[in-house]
Structure 1
Amino acid sequence: MPVRSLLFVPGDAERKLSKADSTAADVLILDLEDSVSATQSTVARKLVRNYLLERPRANRRQRLWVRCKPVQDEGHLADLAAVVEGAPDAFLVPKVRSALDLQAFDHYVAALETQSGLPVGLIQAVPTLTEEPRSLLEAHTFAGGVPRMAGMSWGPIDLMAALGATTNRNVDGSFESLYAWARGITIVTARAAGVQPIDTISADYRDLEKLRAECVLSRTAGFTAKLAIHPDQVAVINDTFTPSDDEVAHARRVVEAFSIQGAGVVGLNGQMLDMPHLRQAREVLARAGLTH
C-alpha cells in the first residue's frame, strides 16, 4: 500500500516507541531531532538503533524512518552513525538548503552502509523543504532528481521562526500568502523530481474535524500523504488519502475507455477526456494499491 500517514515518535520515549507499532500508521518516524533535547541525544540514538535492530526489514509491518538532525548540524553524522546499522527504510532530513545537502548525506550514508554490510543505496532520503529560507531559492536544484530521494515534505513552523514572523496563518486559518507559496513550491518540486509530496503536520491533534478538512485540501492540492504527531490522527489521514470506491470505479472506467477506444481523446459519459485524465486515473489506481 502506498504511504499515506507518517507518525512521529520521539526517539527518547521508550514507552511511546513500544506502543508505536500497534498503530495503523504506514510509516513511523523515529525522531532524533526536534522532539529530543540535546541532553537526551545519546539515549535516543541507542533506543532508536535497538528498535530498528529488533525489527529487521523483512519482518516489518510498517516502514521505519528516522528523522536525523540537519546536515549542517554537528550531531548529524553522529545520528547516522548510530542507526544506519539498523537499516531504516529512509531518513527524514530536516532543514535542507539545496540538493547539495542531500549529496553530502548520500556520501555519509553510503560509507556507513558499506561499513554495516548493507547494499549501498538501500536507505532512502526524504528532505523537508522550506524550513530554511534558502531552500525556497534553491528548490530547483532538486528537480533533476537527487540520490536516494523518495519524497519531500515542508515545514511552515520552522520557516516562520527563520523569518522572524509571529504567525503563518491568516485570520480565517488559511496559510498566509508566503507560506501558501512555500507549500506550492514543495508540491511542484516533489512532482518535478518524481517523488511523493508529503504535507506537514496539523498541530491541533485534538481537533480531528479540522484535520480532516486539512487533509481534503492537501489531497486536492496534490499532496499524497500527511505527517502526524499523535496516533489519533492516523485513521483520519489514512481514510482521507485513500481513494474512495467511487473514485476507483471512475478511474477504472477511464482507463478502460482509453484501452478500448485506442485513441488520445475518448468519450465517456458525455465528456471528452484526453491524456491528462488518463494519467490522473492511473494515479488514483496506484494510490489505491491497484495496477489497473
Structure 2
Amino acid sequence: MRSAKDFFRPLAVGAPAPVTEVPARPSRMIHFFDPSNEKMAARVPAMVGTVDVLLGNLEDAVKSDRKEAARAGLVAIAKATYFGEHTQLWTRVNALDSPWVLDDLTTLVTEIGDRLDVVMVPKVQGTEDIHYVDRILAQLEARAGLTRPILVHAILETARGVVNVDEIAAASPRMQGISLGPADLAADRRMKTTRVGGGHPGYLVREDAEVTAGESDVFGARPTHQQDLWHYTISRMVDACAAAGIFPYYGPFGDIKDVVGCEDQFRNAFLLGCVGAWSLHPVQIDIAKKVFSPSAQDVAHARRVKEAMGDGTGAVMLDGKMEDDASLKQCLVILELAERLSETDPELAELYG
C-alpha cells in the first residue's frame, strides 16, 4: 500500500504533479467514434462544441487489422482539431492484455498528450491494472514534457472488477471516473442475455393471480413489470465513485432505433447518480444532453427550497411537503450541476434563468 504522504507525488521524475481533485467538467455524453473510419473522422471538427466528450475508440469496435490505422487516425485528428474549452478529447485504448495497448499509450501520450484529457481503460479487474497504467503514463508524460497529468477512466465489465470497484475507484489520483460496460459484464457473469445494455423482457415480476371461489387462476391474465438488470451494479459503482470523489457513467445502449428505451435507461442512471452516458450514434447525443441536464422545473424548485431554508437548519413546508436539511443537500446537487452546465451551454443558461 502506498503511503498517504506519497499518494500525490509524481510516479516518475519530471512528470506533472497529480491532481488533488477531479475537474468537474460537463461530460453528459461520451461520444464514440472510430478514427480509422474516414466518414466518422471527417465529422469530428463539426461536433466540437456540440458534445461534451469526443472519444477516439481504439478497442473492440475496431478490427485487428485496423488498430494501427485507428491509432494514427486519432493522432492526426487531435493535431488538426482545436477542441476548445467545452469539448474534451478522450480515447479508449486496447485491453491491457492485448498486443496493441503499449503502442497506444506510447504513441498517444508522446504525440498528442497535451490535447488528450482522459484515457479510458477497458476490462479493469483490480488496482493492479490502474497502477500499471498510472506508472506508464507518468513515465511518458515526463518524456513528452507534459505539464498536466492525463486522467484515467475505468470500464467496469468483469465480475472481478465489480467486486473490486471500491479499490479501483481510489487506486490513483488520476482516476476520473468509471463506466458500466454491460455487454462484457453480462458475458463474464454468464448472464443469459445478448443485449447491449438496457432491460430484458424476461427479467420481471408478476402480480399475484386472481382468486375466485378460493382457487388461484395462475394461468389468467396477470400484469407484469420489467425490472432493471443493471440496478445493483450501477448503484454499487455510484457508491464507489462518490466515496472516492470521481464520476460514474452509464455505458452503451446498443439498440440505436429504440430512442425511448435509451432515454429511460439513461434517466434511470441519472437518477441513481450517474453524470453521463456513452453515445454510439448521433441520435443518442441529444438524448444524453436532455437526460443528464436537470429540468427547468427541478432547478426552480431547488432554488425555492434553498431560499426558504435560510441558514439550512430546521424544516419548512413548501407545497404541502416537508423540506429540511437533507432536502437542501439534494437541491444543492441540482443547483451545482445547473450552474456548471450554464457556464458552457447558453441554451441551458437561458432555460435556467
TM-score using structure 1 length: 0.89
Q: Report how far residue 271 of structure 1 moved.
A: 3.6
Deviation string 1:103-131 (CA, Å, 9 cap, x unpaired) is 2111111111111111252x1111111x1
Match of 1:286 in 2: 336
Cα distance in 1 for partners of 2:314, 2:322 equals 7
**Corresponding residue for residue 26 of structure 1:** 52
Give me the CA root mean square deviation. Answer: 2.3
Deviation at 1:175, TM superposition (A): 6.1
Q: Pick one of 265, 268, 271 that aligns with 2:314.
A: 265
Q: Which of the numbers 120, 135, 157 marks the counterpart of 1:92?
A: 120
In structure 1, distance between residues paired with 2:70 and 2:307: 51
Shift of residue 102 of structure 1?
1.2
Query: Does structure 2 retain, via aligned residues, the 8 Å contact 1:94–1:127?
Result: yes
- Aligned match for 2:75, one of 49, 66, 71: 49
SS in 2 for 1:22: helix
Task: Determine the C-alpha separation between the residues in 2 that align with 1:171 and 1:157.
Answer: 16
Q: Residues 9 and 31 of structure 1 are in contact (CA less than 8 Å); yes or no, is this contact kept in structure 2?
A: yes
Distance 1:175 1:38 in 2: 37
Q: Structure 1 residue 257: deviation in Å?
A: 2.8
Q: Distance in 1 between matches of 2:227 and 2:244?
A: 25
Q: Distance in 2 between matches of 1:197 and 1:263?
A: 28
The residue that corresponds to 1:106 in the other structure is 134
CA positional deviation for 1:41 = 1.1
Counterpart Cα distance in 1 of 2:54 and 2:70? 15
Alignment pair present for 1:213 and 2:240:
no
Q: Which amino acid aligns with 1:18?
A: A
Given the two structures, how large is their TM-score scaled by the length of structure 2? 0.74
Structure 2 letter corresponding to 1:284? I
Q: Which residue of 1 aligns with 2:91?
A: 66
Which residue, 142, 150, 155 being the options, matches 1:128? 155
More helix by share: 1
1:195 to 230, 246, 260: 246
AA partner of residue 125 (structure 1): V
Look up the SS of the partner of 2:173 in the other structure. Answer: coil
| 1:21/1:62 contact within 8 Å kept | no
1:7 is displaced (CA, Å) by 0.8
- Contact 2:94–2:104 (Cα < 8 Å) also in 1: yes
**2:158 and 2:185 in contact (8 A); partners too:** yes
Partner of 1:212: helix, strand, or coil? helix
Count of equivalent residues: 286
Return the alpha-carbon distance in structure 2 between the equivalents of residues 80 and 265 of structure 1.
Answer: 53
Quick one: which amino acid aligns to residue 73 of structure 1? Answer: S
Distance 1:103 1:229, change over 3 A: same
Judge which range, 12-21 or 148-157, deviates more: 12-21
**Structure possessing the higher radius of gyration over alpha carbons:** 2
2:32 maps to 8
63-72 or 18-27: bigger deviation? 18-27
> Distance between the aligned counterparts of 1:40 and 1:157, measured in 2?
22
Seen in structure 2, the aligned counterparts of structure 1 residues 150 and 10 have a Cα distance that, compared at 3 Å, is: same
Structure 2 residue corresponding to 1:275, chosen from 325, 328, 337: 325
**Native 8 Å contact 1:114 1:120 kept in 2:** no
178, 181, 201: which one pairs with 1:171? 201
1:32-68 deviation per Cα after TM superposition (whole angstroms, max 9, x unaligned): 10111111111111111111122356x3551110000
Q: What does the per-residue CA deviation read over 1:8-53, in whole Å, with 9 as the maximum and x for residues that have no partner?
A: 1012112202203423321111001011111111111111111112
- Counterpart of 1:111 in structure 2: which amino acid? Q
Read off the aligned partner of 2:334 and give its amino acid letter: V
Q: Using the aligned pairs only, state the percent identity.
A: 27
Contact 2:130 2:171 in 1 (8 A): no
C-alpha distance in structure 2 between counterparts of 1:159 and 1:272, whole Å: 41
2:188 aligned residue: 162
**Is the 1:32–1:41 contact (alpha carbons within 8 Å) kept by the matching residues of 2?**
yes
Match in the other structure for 2:18: none
Equivalent position amino acid for 2:27 in 1: V
Structure 2 equivalent of residue 243 of structure 1: 294
* Unaligned stretches of 5+ residues in structure 2: 1-24, 204-225, 343-351
